[in-house]
């Protein structure tokens, strides 16, 4: 039997896809296909292998960007959360990265690094890393001093305090930052494929739009949304596996 949360998710999906189908049948625009037309186009893209070939290209900057943003974002966030001077020095840089118009920066990245993998990874990291680092820094900085002092009272070393107290206490906000950052990174990865050079899923979107094959265009967009949702759910399961048995919520107290 379905749990209440899963049932609500199914109802939410049914409502969204139903509204999509109705809007396509009205239609709200000649360029807006129905949900069934888009899913038929998606099935065709999967059947003829076009989608798998596209994702073979799209997943490269995604995977590299996730690894770099996650590792350095959390690492830098820990340092700025533990060191107030470093926070004053580094946090403004990430704030500027968050607010910078990415579409305007892409031509500069292309001039500096070309149209290959490096530029696309940079776009992903510019979107994802500031969110991850700032959330991690805030979570670490707001860990209650009382539990850190308790660790010191039990003769815990600095590494013990960080690994056994600060990280578990801050884990909810750190993983929330990861989910938000990687969501932004997915947007950046597709934007890079559309703006830098049409490759992967971005190539399907660009080509389908150019020949007015709107069901295929929406099918490609839908597929990247599904991939992002699946990945973020796996990340949530990883958080529960790593920290589910611990007393949580300290960082928000």
Residue 251: pLDDT over 70: no
* 145 domain-assigned: yes
* 107 domain-assigned: yes
pLDDT band for 40, please (50, 70, 90 cuts): very high
* 244 domain-assigned: yes
pLDDT band for 60, please (50, 70, 90 cuts): confident
Identify the pLDDT of residue 44: 93
Q: Which residue has the tokens 């609500």?
A: 8
pTM of the model: 0.80
Identify the pLDDT of residue 42: 93
CA distance 35 to 206: 20
Identify the pLDDT of residue 34: 92
Which 8-state DSSP code applies to residue 250? G
69 near 129, Cβ under 8 Å? Answer: yes
Q: Judging by beta carbons within 10 Å of its beta carbon (0-12, 13-18, 19+), is residue 146 exposed, middle or buried?
A: exposed
Tens of pLDDT along 93-143?
888 877 777 667 777 777 777 777 888 888 888 888 889 999 998 888 887
Domain with residue 186: its CATH number is 1.10.3720.10
* 28 domain-assigned: no
The secondary structure of 142-164 as a DSSP string is TS-HHHHHHHHHTT--HHHHIII
Average pLDDT value for residue range 243-250: 51
* Greater model confidence, 120 or 38: 38
pLDDT band for 253, please (50, 70, 90 cuts): very low
Among 58-67, 87-96, 126-135, where is mean pLDDT lowest? 87-96
Q: b/e string for 20-37 if b means 16 or more Cβ within 10 A? A: bbeebeeeeeeebbbbeb
* 24 domain-assigned: no
* 179 domain-assigned: yes
Residue 248: pLDDT over 60: no
Q: b/e string for 198-236 if b means 16 or more Cβ within 10 A? A: ebbbbbbbbebeeeeebbbbbbbbbbbeebbeebbeeee
Average pLDDT value for residue range 80-85: 85
Mean pLDDT (the chain, rounded):
83
Tens of pLDDT along 168-186?
888 888 888 888 888 888 8
The secondary structure of 62-110 as a DSSP string is HHHHHHHHHHHHHHHHHHHHH-HHHHHHHHHHHHHHHHS-HHHHHHHHH
Please give the tally of structural domains in the chain: 1
Residue 67: pLDDT over 60: yes
* 19 domain-assigned: no
* Greater model confidence, 93 or 146: 93
Boundaries of domain holding 207? 58-252
pLDDT band for 47, please (50, 70, 90 cuts): very high
Identify the pLDDT of residue 45: 92
Residue 250: pLDDT over 70: no
Residue 17: pLDDT over 50: yes
* 22 domain-assigned: no
Structure tokens, 107: 């031509």
56 near 204, Cβ under 8 Å? Answer: no
């Amino acid at each position: 039997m379905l749990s209440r949360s899963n049932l609500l998710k199914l109802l939410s999906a049914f409502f969204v896809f139903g509204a999509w189908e109705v809007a396509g049948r009205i239609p709200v625009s000649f360029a807006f296909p129905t949900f069934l037309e888009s899913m038929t186009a998606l099935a065709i893209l999967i059947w003829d292998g076009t989608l798998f070939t596209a994702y073979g290209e799209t997943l490269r900057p995604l995977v590299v960007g996730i690894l770099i943003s996650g590792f350095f974002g959390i690492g830098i966030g820990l340092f700025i959360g533990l060191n107030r001077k470093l926070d004053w020095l580094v946090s403004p840089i990430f704030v500027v990265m968050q607010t910078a118009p990415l579409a305007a920066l892409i031509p500069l990245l292309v001039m500096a690094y070309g149209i290959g993998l490096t530029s696309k990874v940079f776009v992903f990291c510019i979107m994802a890393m500031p969110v991850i680092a700032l959330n991690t820094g805030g979570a670490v900085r707001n860990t209650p001093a009382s539990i850190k002092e308790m660790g010191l009272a039990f003769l815990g070393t600095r590494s013990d305090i960080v690994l056994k107290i600060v990280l578990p206490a801050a884990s909810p906000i750190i993983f929330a930052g990861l989910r938000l950052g990687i969501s932004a990174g997915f947007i950046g990865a597709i934007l890079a494929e559309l703006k830098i050079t049409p490759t992967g899923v971005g190539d399907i979107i660009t080509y389908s739009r150019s020949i007015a094959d709107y069901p295929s265009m929406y099918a490609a967009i839908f597929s990247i949304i599904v991939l992002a949702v699946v990945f973020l759910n796996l990340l949530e399961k990883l958080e529960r596996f790593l920290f589910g048995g611990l007393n949580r919520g300290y960082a928000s107290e």
